Structure 1
Amino acid sequence: MVELTDSVVVVTGAASGMGRSMALEFAGEGASVVVVDVDDDGIERVVAKIDDDGGEAIGVHGDVTDPDSVEGVVDRAVDEYGTVDVLINNAGILDDYAPVGETSLEQWNAVIGVNLDGVFMLTKAALPKLLEGDEEGVVINTASIAGKVAGGGGAAYTSSKHGVIGFTKQLSHDYGPEIRANAICPGAIETGMTEELIDAGEIEPMVAETPAGRHAQSEEVAAVALFLASDEASFVHGSAVDVDGGWLVD
């Protein structure tokens, strides 16, 4: 089983939002964190925060839609820390709730490229290291409630997140017990990516009807990721864990 202390954790989409919170959370537990994003300024801020808090991290510019960039992320992690113990595929983009008839092929390809193709490519690139040695590798994929039901996004986003959950299950099936793979399905989370939707009131009526009756903070999702990577979750394989305030309870 992976010990979080002294483990090597790669987090994509880590310059802001849930990814930033995950990077900080794991660094606070003693992990060496590889902070991956296309936002170089954001990467620097997160790495500086981890350094200031006494943690260990490096920043890597990584575009999950670019195969060469993906390979470079894994190479940099291995060059710096020797391996990859935990991979968190968190990078993602929205589609403005566009229905099928209003979704262009360009938008479809962009959303699928980041949200699903990127998960596949980085997982495949990191697979040899995740399988290496006697310890169990861990993969955590950020899906969404839109990966379980319609209405949590548009056509491209919903399709991509359904795909992430399917990929997670297949990964668990193919490589368990050497790799423990799970997905997280957030509901309404206050992040920079969802700020405009929240400000516009587009999801407020649905949130008000959930048992929690509020949005979540990104730190609450990071806490679930930390649990799924820990030995306490050693019997949790191939699951898609809702962090939605009860959004899907009915």
Structure 2
Amino acid sequence: MGRAFVRAAADAGLDVVVLDLPGAIEAFPPPQGVRAIACDASDEAQVVAAFDAMAKDAPHLDAFINFVGFTNEPRPLEAMALAEWNEIITGSLTSAFLLSRAAIPLLRAADSAAIVHVSSTFGVWVPQSGFGPYAVSKAGVINLVRVLATECGPDIRVNGLAPGITRTAFLDGGTGRPAKQKKTDTEMVAAMVPAKRIAQPEDMLGALFFLIGPGSHYVTSQTLHVNGGLWS
């Protein structure tokens, strides 16, 4: 999803900087002209260093989009170790706090700025077992959007995007992370969706460009659901 947006943003002439895991950058180099900075979003020191490096070339940010989130093998909470719970909560929710905190000074330096945090349908509706910490973290992201919108307004608009299940590497574990053994049953999910298919990354582009663009200047604290009607 992030790669699809980066390509579209670069094609539109935007100056884009990518923060990603080293393995993801190596496996999927960004388009020519797009700078990539290696960063583990769950590591406070790496996040601070990444934004410091960005600030040397960019005095301000007009928009920041956070796509970070992952889950491990599906496992019910009663069988889950605390370490696994903490790993997913830290990787999918605490990372959003760390990234936001680091981005805010550069965003405040812009004339008008926006943050978009990518949540998930699982943040409001949990139709399958085994995704507890991921669902909880993405629900937290939705409320983090509200908190940041209150604290950062009027200088920075903060909104969320909640995709339905999307055909990305996330279904198999996520880019830069070990592959999952148990694959997502996409045919079963597609049968539940009124649109009768799961999403493609490109299905999210219109919503993302809207949320960072001039057409949403009076939109903040909202989470836009793009899920083919799976939840409303």
| TM-score normalised by L of structure 2 | 0.89
Question: Counterparts of 1:35 and 1:43 in 2: how far apart (Å)?
Answer: 13
Between structures 1 and 2, the one with greater strand share: 1
Deviation at 1:30, TM superposition (A): 1.4
Contact 1:103-1:156 at 8 Å conserved across structures: no
CA displacement at 1:97 relative to structure 2: 3.2
- For the Cα contact (< 8 Å) 2:71–2:88, is it kept in 1? yes
Supply the distance in 1 between the matched residues of 2:98 and 2:36 (Cα, whole angstroms): 19
1:23 aligns with 2:6: yes
Select between 93-102 and 153-162 the one with higher mean Cα deviation: 93-102
Distance 1:231 1:46, change over 3 A: farther
Runs of 5+ consecutive residues of structure 1 not aligned to the other structure? 1-17
Q: 1:40 to 1:82 in 2, by over 3 A?
A: farther
SS in 2 for 1:181: strand
SS of residue matched to 1:215: coil
Q: d(CA) in 2 for partners of 1:215 and 1:150?
A: 16
Query: Which one-letter code corresponds to 1:149 in the other structure?
Result: W
CA displacement at 1:43 relative to structure 2: 5.2
Distance (whole Å) between structure 2 residues aligned to residue 191 and residue 147 of structure 1: 18
Deviation at 1:243, TM superposition (A): 1.0
**Same amino acid, percent of matched pairs:** 27
Letter in 2 for 1:30: G
Q: How many residues are matched?
A: 224
Answer yes or no: is 1:99 the counterpart of 2:76.
yes
Equivalent residues in 2 for 1:86-125, closer than 5 Å: 86-125=63-102
C-alpha separation in 1, matches of 2:145 and 2:75: 25
State yes or no: 1:173 paired with 2:150.
Answer: yes
> Which 5+ residue runs of structure 2 have no aligned equivalent?
174-179
1:88-134 deviations in Å (ceiling 9; x for gaps): 1111111333221122111111111111111001110111111124x
More divergent stretch after superposition (108-117 vs 38-47): 38-47
Q: Give the one of 127, 143, 159 matched to 2:119.
A: 143
The letter for the 2-side match of 1:67 is E
The superposition leaves residues 151-208 of structure 1 with CA deviations (integer Å, 9 ceiling, x where unpaired) of 36611001100000000011111112211111111111000121478x9453432321
Name the CA shift for 1:239/1:214 in 2 (closer, same or farther; >3 Å): same
Match of 1:223 among 183, 206, 210: 206
Given the superposition, is the C-alpha separation of residues 40 and 206 from structure 1 closer, same or farther in structure 2, using an over 3 Å criterion? closer
Mapping 1:1-250, distance limit 5 Å: 18-40=1-23, 42=25, 45-47=28-30, 50-51=31-32, 56-133=33-110, 135-151=111-127, 154-195=131-172, 200=183, 202-249=185-232
Shift of 1:46: 3.4
- Contact 1:19 1:91 (C-alpha < 8 Å) held by counterparts: no
The Cα RMSD (Å) is 2.0
Counterpart amino acid of residue 165 in structure 2: A
Cα pair distance change 1:44/1:155, threshold 3 Å: closer
- Matched-pair contact (CA < 8 Å) for 2:171–2:183: no
Contact 2:25–2:36 (8 Å) recurs in 1: no
- Give me the whole-angstrom Cα distance separating, in 2, the residues matched to 1:237 and 1:148: 19
Q: Secondary structure at the match of 2:105?
A: helix
Q: Which runs of 4+ in 1 moved over 4 A?
A: none
- 8 A Cα contact 2:189 2:198, kept in partner: no
